[in-house]
Structure 1
Amino acid sequence: MSDTHTALLLIGHGTDDPVGLAEYHRLSAQLSEQLMLFVQPCFLELADPPIGQAIDDCVDAGYRRIIALPLLLGAAGHQKNDIPVALNHARMRYPDLDIRYGSPLNAQYALVRALADRIETAFASAGTTIPRDRTALALIGRGSSDPDSNAEVARMARLVWEGRDFGWVEYGFYSITHPDVATTIRHCIALGAAQVIVAPYLLFTGRILQRMASQVEAARQQHAGTSIIMAGHLGLHEGVIAAIRQRYEEVLHGVATVNCDLCKYRQFMPGFEEDYGRPQVSDHHHGLRGVHNHASLSLDAILPPRYRNGASVSAAPMAAAPLVYDADGRVAWDRVWGGDDPDNPFCELALAGGPPHRGTLLEPVPPEVVAADPDGYARVITELARGLHMVTGLQVVTDCAPGWIGLVCTSDQMAIWLLRAIVVENVSVRREGHTIYLPAGPDFCLDGEIKNVITSVAKTYHYWKEHINGRMRTSPGSEGMPPSNG
C-alpha cells in the first residue's frame, strides 16, 4: 500500500494539553506504520502546525496528492466550514495539487466496538454485583451547536446499547447543548438504574475529559446510593485506527460520502434561528468528495458575492495608500482610506483589490519567535488592537495564543463570512465561535504586515456591515435579525 506521492493530512481540533497532544501524535505514528504512508498531523487551533502550514510542508516534501481527513466524531461547523475554507485556500495556492477531503469518523461500527470494549472493561472492573439489566449506559459527547453532530451521539448511544443486555441507555453532552452530564445521570437513576456507566465519547484525553470526570465525581457525591462508574475514552483502541483507515480507503477510491439532508448549512431548521430564517451559506462542497482533480474548482464557491461578478480575482496589489497620522503622531487608521471623506469611502478600498500579501500568505509567527521578543510583540499587538477597533468598533482580544489577535464579531454568521472574505486576501484567519483570529508577530512593520492585516479587516468588515448584512435584513424570512453593527 506504500505510496510515495500521497500524504495523509490528519486534521484534529487541537489542544494545549501535552498528554492529549502526545496521544494524538502516537495515533499518527501508528497510522503511518500500518498504512505505510506519510501522515502529517495538523490542527484547527491551539496546536501547531495549522492546516495551511502542514500542506505547505507536504508540498515542499514532494507530495502531489493529499488526503485530508477530519479527525472528528461528528459533522459540525469545523468539518463543514472551517476545514473546507483552509483546503480551498490551499487549492488556490497550489492549483496542481490533488487535495481530497474525507468524511468525519461518525458512528462507524469499528468505533461502536471500541466504545463497547471501554464500557465492558469498566463494567468488569466495577467490583459490584449489580447485574447488567440494572445498569444504565450514559454516553456523553462533547456537544455542538450543530444538530447533525449531536444526532451522531444519539445514534452511537443506541448502537452501542443494542444486544448488550444493559438495562437502559441515555445520552448527554459535556457543554453547549442539553442534557448535560448531571441531568443524563439523573435520568438514568430516575429510570431505576442501580448502576450507571458514564462513557465519554471522546477520541483523546485532555482538559475536556478531565472536566467531564469532575462532573461525574460531583454526581457521585449527589447520588451516594448509586454506583457511578466512568469508562475510558476511545484513545488508541484498534477500532479507532480501523475507523480512520475506513475513511482513508473511501477517499482513496472515490467513495467518500456525507449526509446533507439534516445539515443546517443547507436546510432551514426550526430551532436554529441564528441563521436568520435561511440556510447558512457554507464552504463545504458536498459534491466534491472523492473527486480526483480539483484544479478546475471555481473560486466562486469560496468568494463573498461582491468579489464574484463572473470575473477572476486579480492578484495585483491595490495602489498604496499613504499612512495618515493624528495630532499625537499615531496612525489614524480610520482615515487612511478616506473614512471621513464622502467622496472616497471604504467602498473604494474594497473595490481596489487585495493587500500586497495577496501573493505571499501572511501567517502568524511561531510561539518561540514571540518569546524571543516580547516587547516587540507587545508593541505590534497594541497597534493592531488599536487599528482593528478604529476600523470596526468591535471588541479586540489580545490575551490569546501567541501569534494571534482576536476580533469579536456579533454572530457566528458574521464571523464565518469575514473568515471567508479575509482568506481570499491571503491573510491567515481562524475562528472560534463569534471570534476570528488574525496573525501577529514581533517583526510586523507598521507600513507592512500591520497595515495589511488592518486593511483586510477594514474592507471585508465594510462589506459585511454596509452590503451583506443590510441585504440580509431586508430579505424574506429575516425578521428578528439583530440590528446592524454600525
Structure 2
Amino acid sequence: MKALLFICHGTRLRKGRIEAEEFVRLCMASVDVPIKEICFLELSEPSIAQGFDTCIQKGATSISVVPVFLLSANHIKIDIPKELRHLQTKYPETEVIYGRAFGVHEAIPHLLWEKITNSAISINGNSQVLLVGRGSTDGDVKRDLEKIASNVQSHFGIPSIQACFLTGSSPSFEEALWCVRDKYAQVIVVPYLLFSGLLINGMKLTINRYLQQSQQEVVLCDTLGYHPILKEVLLTRIKETLHTNDYAFS
C-alpha cells in the first residue's frame, strides 16, 4: 500500500507548527493516496521515525517522502537521508522514495512579487529589496537563493535586489541591512521562510535595532505561508515523488 510522508522542519513555536500542518493538510486533500502523514525533522512532534512507524502500522509497503523545505541544504542532503536509511534498515521490505525540496521553481518569483507589492506602496530606484533566506554552509543554498533573486529582478524589473542569510552564508541579513543604510529611501525585507517561527521574530528584532539609528523606511513582508502558488509547487513535488524511482533508497 502506498503512503506519503511529509517532513516539515519544525519549530518551538506552536503557531509555526500549526501553520505548517494546515498547509500540508490543504495539499493532502488534492492527492489520492491511502496513507498520508506529517512529521518533523526537529523541534516538533511527531518525529520522522514516529511518522514512518505510523505509515507502517497503517499498512504501508511503499513510502514516498516529501520534504516540505524551500531549498536543498544539509537537512535535505544529509540529515533526512541518514534517518531514512536507518528506518529502511528497520523495515527492509518497505520501499522508500525520497522527493525534492521546492528548489528554484519558475512560479516562485510571482509569489515573491506579490508579497513585495502587497507590503510596499511603491517600488522605484530608491528602493532596495533584501531577500532573506535561512542560510546554510552548503553552497547550493547561496547559489539557489541568488538565482531566485535574479529571477524576480528579471521578471519584474526590480531596480535592486540582494539575497542575504540569517545563518551559515554571507552576507548576513544584518550586514546587508547596514550596507544599504542611507543609500535608499526604502528597504523592503522579504523573508524567504515558509511560516512563523523564531527566525522571523529575530528578523523583527534586527530591524527594530536598525531603525533606532536609521531614518529609512523598512518594510517587512509576510512569510510565504498558505499561498496557492506554494501549494502548486508542493503538489508538483508530490507528483514527481509518486511517479519516479529516481530517488529510491535501495
Q: AA paired with 1:7?
A: A
Give the drift of 1:184.
Answer: 1.2
What's the counterpart of residue 184 of structure 1? 176
1:86-97 residue pairs with structure 2 within 5 A? Answer: 86-97=83-94
Give runs of ≥4 in structure 1 deviating > 6 Å.
Answer: none
Per the alignment, do residues 163 and 140 of structure 1 end up closer, same or farther by CA in structure 2, a change over 3 Å counting? Answer: same
Match of 2:228 among 212, 220, 238: 238
Q: AA paired with 2:240?
A: E
Q: CA separation in 2, counterparts of 1:153 and 1:221?
A: 29
Match of 1:10 among 6, 9, 21: 6
Q: CA separation in 1, counterparts of 2:38 and 2:107?
A: 22
* TM-score using structure 1 length: 0.49
Can you give the 5+ residue segments of structure 1 that lack an aligned partner in the other structure? Answer: 125-129, 255-287, 298-486
Q: AA paired with 1:211?
A: G
* TM-score using structure 2 length: 0.92
Q: AA paired with 2:11?
A: T
Match of 2:96 among 94, 99, 102: 99
1:254-273 residue pairs with structure 2 within 5 A? Answer: 254=244
Q: CA separation in 2, counterparts of 1:40 and 1:106?
A: 22
What's the counterpart of residue 210 of structure 1? 201
Q: CA separation in 2, counterparts of 1:131 and 1:77?
A: 35
How many residues align structurally? 249
Matched, 1:64 2:42: no
What's the counterpart of residue 228 of structure 1? 218
Does the 8 Å CA contact 1:144/1:176 hold for their aligned counterparts?
yes
Q: CA separation in 2, counterparts of 1:53 and 1:148?
A: 30
- What secondary structure, in the 3-state scheme, does the structure 1 residue paired with 2:120 have? helix
Match of 1:81 among 75, 78, 83: 78
What's the counterpart of residue 139 of structure 1? 131
Q: CA separation in 2, counterparts of 1:131 and 1:75?
A: 30
Give the drift of 1:208.
Answer: 0.7
What's the counterpart of residue 142 of structure 2? 150
Match of 1:289 among 242, 246, 250: 246
Q: CA separation in 1, counterparts of 2:155 and 2:126?
A: 15
1:30-429 residue pairs with structure 2 within 5 A? Answer: 30-37=26-33, 38-124=35-121, 131-189=123-181, 192-224=183-215, 226-254=216-244, 289-291=246-248, 294=249, 297=250
- What secondary structure, in the 3-state scheme, does the structure 2 residue paired with 1:63 have? coil
1:436-455 residue pairs with structure 2 within 5 A? Answer: none
Q: Which digits, 9 at most, give the CA deviation of each residue in 1:132-185, with x for residues without a partner?
A: 232121001111111112222111111122232322011211123321222212
- What secondary structure, in the 3-state scheme, does the structure 2 residue paired with 1:167 have? coil
Can you give the 5+ residue segments of structure 2 that lack an aligned partner in the other structure? Answer: none
Does the 8 Å CA contact 2:152/2:158 hold for their aligned counterparts?
no
Give the drift of 1:131.
Answer: 4.5
Does the 8 Å CA contact 1:69/1:248 hold for their aligned counterparts?
yes
Q: AA paired with 2:195?
A: F
Q: Which digits, 9 at most, give the CA deviation of each residue in 1:40-66, with x for residues without a partner?
A: 111111111111121110011112221
Q: CA separation in 2, counterparts of 1:220 and 1:289?
A: 49
Tell me the C-alpha RMSD between the 2 structures.
1.8
Higher relative contact order (CA 8 A, sep 6+): 2
Flag the structure with higher strand content: 2
Q: Which digits, 9 at most, give the CA deviation of each residue in 1:90-118, with x for residues without a partner?
A: 22122221210011111212222222211
Q: CA separation in 2, counterparts of 1:210 and 1:178?
A: 20
Which stretch of the first structure deviates more once superposed, 199-208 or 114-123?
A: 114-123
Q: CA separation in 2, counterparts of 1:212 and 1:101?
A: 32
